[in-house]
Amino acid sequence: MSFHLSIEEKGEDVFITIKAHPNSSKKEVKLSDFDIDVYVHEPTDKGKANKAIIKLLSKTLDLPSSSISIVKGIKSQTKIILLKGIKTSLIFEKLG
């Protein structure tokens, strides 16, 4: 099931909606017309996939891990992520 690309900027903070793909054979952040897909090798148990998602977003967007948090969807495939100190235009640049 697909969802509409959701990026909302509030001051210095940006909220993005991602679709998580744990237990994946690849490790990447992929931007399409309607999704931001995050693929990680780690399984969902004990929050391993969530930690891997934050680490991968940190590396991809060149943000410290402390500036990234999951605000909704800890146990869901669809997650809302808070990114502090980055502008929407830079996100598209880094993911594009």
CATH code at position 20:
3.30.1200.10
Q: Is residue 1 assigned to a domain?
A: no
* Range(s) of the domain holding residue 35: 7-89
Which residues on adjacent β-strands are paired with residue 36?
Answer: 31
What residues contact residue 59 under an 8 Å CB cut-off, 6+ apart?
A: none
For residue range 70-88, what is the model confidence (pLDDT) as tens digits?
999 999 999 999 999 998 8
Q: Determine the Cα–Cα distance for residues 63 and 12; give it in Å rounded to an integer.
A: 13
Provide the β-strand partners of residue 72.
Answer: 80
Answer yes or no: is 77 within a domain. yes
Using CA atoms, how far apart are residues 13 and 86, in angstroms rounded to an integer?
A: 7
In a domain, 70, yes or no: yes
Burial of 60 (0-12, 13-18, 19+ CB in 10 A): middle
Is 34 within the bounds of a domain? yes
Domain count for the chain, please give it: 1
User: What pLDDT does 54 receive?
Assistant: 98
pTM of the model: 0.91
Residue 33 domain flag: yes
Residues of the chain below pLDDT 70:
1-5
Question: Is 76 inside any structural domain?
Answer: yes
**Could you tell me which of 73, 58, 64 has the C-alpha nearest to residue 19?**
73
Residue 40 covered by a domain = yes
